[in-house]
Amino acid sequence: MSNSPDAPRPGRRERLALVVIAALLAAVVLWLRGGLQPQAPLEALARRSPELPVALADGRPTLVEFYADWCEACRTMAPAMENVESGYRGRLDVVLLNVDNPRWQPELERFAVNGIPQLELFDRRGDSVGRSIGARSQPELLALAEALVSDQPLPPLPGVGAVSPLAGIESGVEAAGTMAGPRSHG
C-alpha cells in the first residue's frame, strides 16, 4: 500500500458498490410503487374528502363513493370524480369511503354496499335522494352533481334510483347480512 494521493483508499470500492446497490434498490422500489407520478386520483380524493358526518351537516349536497384501490371500475372513474370534485368545490361535497378500511364497516352496512363503485346521493339537508350502482362516465357524474347542486330530480340513468327503506327491517342490518359483501368479487 502506498501513501500517494492517487492510490485508492481502503474501502472505496466497497462504498461505491454500496452506493450502486442502494441506487438500484431505490429504482426498484420506485418502479414497484408506480414511479414518481403524483398520488393516484382515488387516494388524492380520499385524502381531501370531508368526514361523512361533516359533509352531511354542512348545508351542501353530498356525493359519497364507496370504492377500493383494486377496483378497476373505480380507478377508471377516478379522473371524472376528480373533475366533479374540483368543478363543484364549495357547492358539493365529494366523500370517498374505501370498502377495505374497517373504519367504514358501519357505513357499508348502513348503505347496504354490495358492490363497487356505489354512489350515495344526498341533498343539502343530508337526506338520501338516491343511489347509483356501477361505473359512471364523466357526463353522467356531472349530470348527477348538477341535479344535486340545483336541487333537481336525479337524471334517469340506468342503475340510478331513489332509495326506500324496507318495511319491517330495522336499519337494513338483517337484509345486509344475507348479501355478499363488496369485497367478495375480484
Task: Report the catalytic residues.
Answer: 71, 74
Give the three-state DSSP class for 134: coil
Task: Tell me how far apart the alpha carbons of residues 176 and 165 are, in angstroms, rounded to a whole number.
Answer: 12
For 158, how many CA atoms within 13 A lie in the half-sphere containing its CB? 4
Helices in 40-98 by DSSP H: which ranges?
41-48, 52-57, 72-87
Quote the cell numbers at residue 64: 359519497
Quote the cell numbers at residue 71: 377496483
For 74, how many CA atoms within 13 A lie in the half-sphere containing its CB? 25
Task: Tell me how far apart the alpha carbons of residues 77 and 81 are, in angstroms, rounded to a whole number.
Answer: 6
Strands of the sheet containing 62-67, edge to edge, are 93-98, 62-67, 118-122, 128-133, 160-161
Beta strands in 28-138 (DSSP E): 62-67, 93-98, 118-122, 128-133
